[in-house]
Structure 1
Amino acid sequence: MGVYLSTPKTDKLSENGENDRLKFGLSSMQGWRATMEDAHSALLDLDSETAFFGVFDGHGGRVVAKFCAKYLHGQVLKSEAYSTGDLGTAVHRAFFRMDEMMQGQRGWRELSALGDKINKFSGMIEGLIWSPRGSDSNNQQDDWASEEGPHSDFAGPTCGSTACVALIRNTQLVVANAGDSRCVISRGGKAYNLSRDHKPELAAERERIMKAGGFIHMGRVNGSLNLSRAIGDVELKQNKFLPPEKQIVTANPDINVVELCDDDDFVVVACDGIWDCMSSQQLVDFIHERINTESSLSAVCERVLDRCLAPSTIAGDGCDNMTMILVQFKKPVDRNKKAEAAGQSASNVDEAKSRVAEE
């Protein structure tokens, strides 16, 4: 079966949450893949005004996806740009920061802890390359690479991860994407892509890859990677004469800033395991048919995963790991209706009390 199981793992990890502005549900499933390499973040309250949702689709190992899920939102929050209200710049910097943080000894230790799977033949944590020098291997300084200077004893992870992130603050939606996970908004029932799938065949991607000394074979970067932007994948970021955004593969995210309006229903952030099986509009239609009848938003996500799961591994599509986050906007009119209903209920109680008093 190669990278596939003989039968799919259909157990799902699901979660729901809400505050006074948003509701979300999410679900992830390993499916036919031999390992689960997706990770996600869902934080309704990154701060008192801002929500953060992200999907990270790993390749060559799970550790970079898990690292991003654990640390990327924290780097957004720490950014000076974030404190001034510039969410786009803050999240843009955080993508590059992931690569920096993984290249020192602290990065090695954290990736080792997240790896949880050691190859019994090589003794290597999945997706990592490490060649310690005796004098440095006992260095216990606990800073990230860019703060202490890079270590020559750790080149970084050979695996990588896509990253697609959505931040929502009041009426502003900021989407950052590197790779082929995708963010889609439903506006009046119509699907609008808020991210672009970074594939090697895109003209701008091909040009960067070739200028950096790479090549494309059978639709894959250097014959191996079927996407052109990702966090990690250090072996494809080795040109010392080029900045990070111009490497063969780059973590450089596209940033899209959208002003939300009353017609906006929900946002979906999902890995390519979903988009391989459904177009953006098909998914939006599927959600609209179920969002008011299912018990929760995570249940809607679970139905999507079931719909996308292939009956066998023959065709290929529907055999990937799948992760999906569904974020629904609570309309001001809905909150007003609740307030009116509460006011009407209080008025009815007062009238009832008055009648009792008169009697």
Structure 2
Amino acid sequence: MGIYLSAPKTEKFSEDGVNSRLRYGLSSMQGWRATMEDAHAALTDLDASTSFFGVYDGHGGKVVAKFCAKYLHQQVLKHEAYLTGDIGTSVQKAFLRMDEMMRGQRGWRELAILGDKINKFTGMLEGLIWSPRSGDRNYQVDDWAFEEGPHSDFSGPTSGCTACVAVLRGNQLVVANAGDSRCVISRSGQAYNLSRDHKPDLEVEKERILEAGGFIHAGRVNGSLNLARAIGDIEFKQNKFLPAEKQIVTANPDVNIVCIYLLCISYVTGLAFSIELIFAFLSKKNI
């Protein structure tokens, strides 16, 4: 999906950070796309004992990826399961919450701001580039109150994004993925996948798609989307008789919980995220 350039934009935007528990580095590049549609969130201190990292690969536009980069980690913090130590459930619910938040007048307004349509203070056109880091005030979580307005019946964006996040607390690593971005861990020099691609031809995905009334053509959902799970893409989530987890395309992630035991910590040498196009050229060992 999307328009491609005649030559790739290879300028890279990089950042790094460190706290008492870990060190991270990241880099992004627009590549062949006409616009940069990807976003990320890197927070070494989601709270005093927890770190959060996420990559969001947009398609059909940048707004859903930017929305997730801004709000998904906040919703992880806000969910009651997080307070009881159930990080896996809080992350899973945060993925589904993104679709809910992007509806209605409030969702339309926020997407318009992130899509450079309006400035939320002046109402004027303004471009916004936003990537959250640990210095941001994560605990000031908006309650997302209902707003009246001309877009109150807005059902959500037609664009979307993948989401692949990792939350680290102590020796517990929680990885959640919806789409085909990937998370890989390096242990003793060997690379291991912590996520799997959600493609329409996978049996579990195909079964859900067909039962929800969709079809698969040329490896694409309804002949259009080459992902079986994504945030956004509201056109594939219109069945009012099915829960969010059972829609043609769902934001419901796979959640993988890995224990990194202290005796083995010296052998765990790295964690890597990747947008899927890299894997067309490199094996996971070469990332």
TM-score above 0.5, yes or no:
yes
Correspondence 1:255-274 to 2 at 5 A = 255-260=255-260, 261-262=264-265, 263-274=267-278
Q: CA deviation at 1:11?
A: 1.0
Q: Within the alignment, does 1:239 sit opposite 2:236 as a pair?
A: no
Shift of 1:3: 1.8
Quick check: 1:38 aligned with 2:42?
Answer: no
- Following the alignment from structure 2 to structure 1, what is the Cα–Cα distance between the partners of residues 224 and 57? 16
Q: Secondary structure at the match of 2:199?
A: coil
Question: Once the two structures are superposed, what CA deviation does each residue of 1:310-349 show, in whole Å capped at 9, x if it has no partner?
Answer: xxxxxxxxxxxxxxxxxxxxxxxxxxxxxxxxxxxxxxxx
1:15 offset after TM fit, Å?
0.2
* Preserved contact between residue 199 and residue 227 of structure 1 (Cα < 8 Å): yes
Q: Does 1:75 align with 2:79?
A: no
Aligned to 1:278: 282
Q: CA deviation at 1:117?
A: 5.5
Aligned residue for 1:156, secondary structure, equals coil
Shift of 1:6: 2.1
Alignment partner, residue 19 of structure 1: 19
Runs of 4 or more above 3 Å deviation:
142-145
Equivalent residue number for residue 6 of structure 1? 6
Matched ranges for 1:148-227 at <5 A = 153-227=153-227
Q: List runs of 5+ in structure 2 lacking aligned partners.
A: 119-141
CA deviation profile, 1:95-146 (whole Å, cap 9, x unmatched)? 000000001211111000000159xxxxxxxxxxxxxxxxxxxxxxx9637x
Correspondence for 1:62:
62
Worse overlay, 5-14 or 203-212: 5-14
Alignment RMSD? 1.9
Query: Are the counterparts in 2 of residues 180 and 272 from structure 1 also a CA contact under 8 Å?
Result: yes
Q: What's the counterpart of residue 133 of structure 2?
A: none
**In structure 2, distance between residues paired with 1:279 and 1:105:** 44
The answer as to whether partners of 1:102 and 1:144 remain within 8 angstroms in 2 is no
Matched to 1:66, the amino acid is: K
Give the distance between the partners of 2:153 and 2:259, measured in 1 at CA. 46
C-alpha displacement of 1:153: 2.2
The 2-side partners of 1:115 and 1:181 are apart by 22
- Conserved 8 A contact 2:52-2:165: yes
- The total of aligned residue pairs comes to 258
Cα distance in 2, alignment partners of residues 112 and 152 from structure 1: 14
Which of the pair has the greater relative contact order for Cα pairs under 8 Å at 6+ separation? Answer: 1
Deviations 1:176-221, CA, capped at 9 Å, x for gaps: 0000000000011111100010000100000000000000010000
The 8 Å contact of residues 102 and 111 in structure 2, kept in 1 or not, is answered as yes
- Whose Rg is larger? 1
Q: Which moved more, 1:28-37 or 1:269-278?
A: 269-278
- Write the mapping of 1:317-332 to structure 2, written as runs, cut at 5 A: none
Assess if the C-alpha contact under 8 Å between 1:166 and 1:269 holds in 2: no
Distance 1:196 1:12 in 2: 27
| Partner residue, 2:104 | 104
Distance 2:117 2:198 in 1: 29
SS at match of 1:11: strand
| SS, match of residue 47 in structure 2 | coil
The separation in 2 between residues aligned to 1:191 and 1:42, in whole angstroms, is 22
**Within 2, Cα distance between the matches of 1:34 and 1:13?**
17
Q: Which has the higher helix share?
A: 1
Match of 2:134 in 1: none
